[in-house]
Amino acid sequence: MLFRVGFAAGLVAAVSAAPAVTTTADTGEYTPLPYSYNQSPSVNSAAVSSAASVAGIPAAEIPGATNAVPPVISSQVTGVTSHGPYTGTATTTGAVSNSPAGTAIPVLPPNPTALVYNPNGTLNNQEPIPYQPAGGLGTNGTEPVYRVQSDFDYMSILLGLYQEWIELDLFHNILATFSEEEFTAAGLTPSDRFLIEFMADQESGHATMLSNLLGGPGGATPQCTYNYPFKTVHEAFDFTQKLTRFGESGVWGFQAHLDSREVAQLLDQSIATEARQQMIFRQFAGLFPMPVWFETGIPQSWAWTLLAPYISSCPADSKRLAWQNFPALNVLNQPNSARWNASQTGLNETTGFGPAAPSSDVPESESCIARNDTGFSCKAAVSQNRTIPLSYPGREVYLSWEEPGKLVGPNNSYVTDTKASAPQFVIWVSQLNVTYSPLTNISKQGELNYGMTIQPDVSTYEGDPAINGTMFIALTDADLPFTAFNLSMVNPHVAAGPFLYQAG
Ligand SMILES: *[C@@H]1O[C@H](CO)[C@@H](O)[C@H](O)[C@H]1NC(C)=O
Ligand SMILES: *[C@@H]1O[C@H](CO)[C@@H](O)[C@H](O)[C@H]1NC(C)=O
Ligand SMILES: *[C@@H]1O[C@H](CO)[C@@H](O)[C@H](O)[C@H]1NC(C)=O
Ligand SMILES: *[C@@H]1O[C@H](CO)[C@@H](O)[C@H](O)[C@H]1NC(C)=O
Ligand SMILES: *[C@@H]1O[C@H](CO)[C@@H](O)[C@H](O)[C@H]1NC(C)=O
Ligand SMILES: *[C@@H]1O[C@H](CO)[C@@H](O)[C@H](O)[C@H]1NC(C)=O
Ligand SMILES: *[C@@H]1O[C@H](CO)[C@@H](O)[C@H](O)[C@H]1NC(C)=O
Ligand SMILES: *[C@@H]1O[C@H](CO)[C@@H](O)[C@H](O)[C@H]1NC(C)=O
Ligand SMILES: *[C@@H]1O[C@H](CO)[C@@H](O)[C@H](O)[C@H]1NC(C)=O
Ligand SMILES: *[C@@H]1O[C@H](CO)[C@@H](O)[C@H](O)[C@H]1NC(C)=O
Ligand SMILES: *[C@@H]1O[C@H](CO)[C@@H](O)[C@H](O)[C@H]1NC(C)=O
């Protein structure tokens, strides 16, 4: 306990309680700005007396009880608590950019040093100390520095902070929007509602940590105003299990590439929590909690494309992102998770807008929310095993997608773009691999393009069908092979998407 308190306080000190701004020309060292909000750790005397009264001993005898605790960053955006679309015109548009050195990263053979180590069960190199095998990064005694170390790190964590802020607002908004009766009808108990409140609190901690990693107000970005597509409890949970899926997968896509191992460490410790949240929202939506063996990773530009449509405007001092917004892709027959027989899903059975638009509620006789029998009910539960799966290999999937050049995101200030030629394939990104299906029956009506494909049948390992759960599809101009570690190299080939396909 004492260790944990000391660690948390030390972290804040190392990251952000810096005395002054200095950029020393000789060493090139930079000291982050201090925060404008009060970051001083303080003692909550009410909490201290409460702990002492429960324990029945003086607070001074409970280790850590009287230690000061660091505060969370404020989420108050000039008093804004409204939601809805943005109608104004932006003064700045487009992603942050300078003068890119090229148009595509070259494909190279493996690094020769990666082909040397012999995992034959013996120690290949001398141990530095007893019980410490040689190797590892950040294991040689240098003091950890919890700070982004490159533009890649900065822009990745900034994207992460945009995601944490919307989750904080969304979880609170769900609690504020629906009545106790509506939650009860969806199968939620008072304890379940408290869990949503607790998950919102977790988000304020994540937003605080990521703000610290970005180096104070010079680098962090404030909370924005959001626009949500749901109208009912089930739709809200379906939207949230999709939004937390791209939040989690967005981090799995970049965390192993960060220059700062220290930042990756802290990020993992927050994303482990986010992953639990995603599963809980699936359970609240009455979906099978985890129908895959591995959670997939997606590139930052995919996560930003999925997130941007739900941010309506951000304060003037917001930091801008460098990632790409791809043209929007839509599945016209997105499997409807509110049906007990999703095979009967028709066209446009979603509510609202955007790549995470929730499945719309259907009449009671077709609804799984109204049922309570095993295999057909989708009331909130630890596990609901559908007798009729949401999707199946061989399913015809109908698609529509936009041309580039549309304004999206905060203050309509980002512009969708693609560097790809005409799309020919649908890429399916799930678990450890990608797979492709041909894009067929392509047509254009008005401003929208239409096409279709067939849901593939591939397995990660025997017994683990790869395409299941809340997963990702996009349109590409080529069918190159990728794994999670090099998937961002697909970006110059993406013509539209990604979109969250509700495979299961
Ligand atoms: C294992 O590999 C290392 C490095 O190539 C080598 O030095 C060592 O002799 C090998 N041990 C065995 C038991 O093969
Ligand atoms: C310790 O490891 C870091 C990389 O993790 C390296 O930059 C640094 O030079 C090493 N320091 C020593 C004293 O070997
Ligand atoms: C976005 O719009 C809001 C509301 O009009 C405005 O207050 C804010 O300054 C704008 N943000 C930026 C970054 O221009
Ligand atoms: C589910 O819907 C499909 C498509 O309409 C139909 O063929 C099937 O019989 C239905 N299943 C049940 C159990 O009603
Ligand atoms: C579904 O939406 C698409 C795109 O907005 C539209 O073209 C189509 O007519 C709609 N279909 C139905 C059945 O509503
Ligand atoms: C399911 O609902 C029916 C009708 O409302 C009710 O009679 C039955 O007791 C319920 N069964 C369970 C297991 O809750
Ligand atoms: C769960 O679903 C699977 C796949 O649809 C099915 O094979 C299995 O029998 C179901 N199990 C139960 C207990 O309903
Ligand atoms: C997804 O997994 C669930 C649970 O195992 C299973 O019932 C369902 O058939 C799977 N769906 C697909 C598309 O494989
Ligand atoms: C999927 O990815 C894993 C891990 O990179 C790899 O071992 C496996 O061969 C890939 N499977 C397919 C079917 O591409
Ligand atoms: C797609 O195109 C093929 C070949 O032109 C045609 O046979 C098929 O009916 C089309 N499918 C749909 C759903 O339009
Ligand atoms: C991505 O990595 C896989 C190995 O995991 C490799 O087979 C593939 O060729 C790489 N793709 C590109 C475009 O470099």
User: Model confidence over 183-201: pLDDT tens digits?
Assistant: 999 999 999 999 999 999 9
User: What confidence category does residue 74 fall into, taking pLDDT thresholds of 50, 70 and 90?
Assistant: confident
- Asked if the model's pLDDT at residue 248 lies above 70, the reply is yes
- Which one is predicted more confidently, 71 or 352? 352
Nearest atom, ligand 2, residue 140 CA: 1
Would you state the pLDDT for residue 225?
95
What is the mean predicted confidence (pLDDT) over 286-311?
98
- pLDDT tens for 145-178 read 999 999 999 999 999 999 999 999 999 999 999 9
Using the mean position of ligand 6's atoms as its centre, give its distance from the Cα of residue 288 in Å: 21
Distance 404 CA to ligand 7 centre (A): 43
Q: Which residues of 190-219 are buried (b: 16+ CB within 10 A; e: fewer)?
A: eebbebbeebbebbbbbbbbbbbbbbbbeb
318 lines ligand 8 (CB under 6 A): no
**How far is CA 407 from each of CA 225, 312, 352, rounded to the nearest angstrom?**
17, 11, 18
Mean pLDDT rounded to a whole number for the chain: 92
Does the beta carbon of 385 sit less than 6 angstroms from any atom of ligand 7? yes
Q: Is 445 helix (H, G, I), strand (E, B) or coil?
A: strand
- Asked if the model's pLDDT at residue 13 lies above 80, the reply is no
And the tokens for 326? 């791809």
Q: What is the pLDDT of residues 115-137, one digit of tens each?
A: 999 999 999 999 999 999 999 99
Give percent of the chain above pLDDT 70. 92
In one-letter notation, the amino acid at residue 370 is A
The Å distance, Cα 399 to ligand 5 centre, comes to 10
Task: Tell me what the mean pLDDT of segment 219-234 comes to.
Answer: 95
Partners of residue 329 on adjacent β-strands = 401
Lowest model confidence (mean pLDDT) among 4-8, 116-120, 123-127, 482-486: 4-8
Rounded alpha-carbon distances, angstroms, from residue 367 to 186, 283, 302, 383: 12, 17, 32, 18
Query: What secondary structure letter does DSSP report for 163?
Result: H
Verify whether ligand 1 is closer than 6 Å to residue 134 (CB atom): no
**Alpha carbon of 460 to ligand 9 centroid (Å):** 7
Is residue 306 a contact partner of residue 245, using CB atoms and an 8 Å limit? no
What was the pLDDT predicted at 304? 98
pLDDT at 356 over 90: yes
pLDDT score for 78: 47
Of the listed ligands, the closest to the CA of 332 is 5
The answer to whether residue 424 scores a pLDDT higher than 80 is yes
- Is residue 313 in contact with ligand 3, taking CB distance under 6 Å? yes
> For residue 498, is the peptide bond before it cis, meaning its omega torsion is within 30 degrees of 0?
yes
From 117, 122, 123, 125, give the residue whose CB has the most ligand 1 atoms within 8 Å, as the site to mutate.
Answer: 122
Q: Which atom of ligand 7 is nearest to the CA of 387?
A: 5
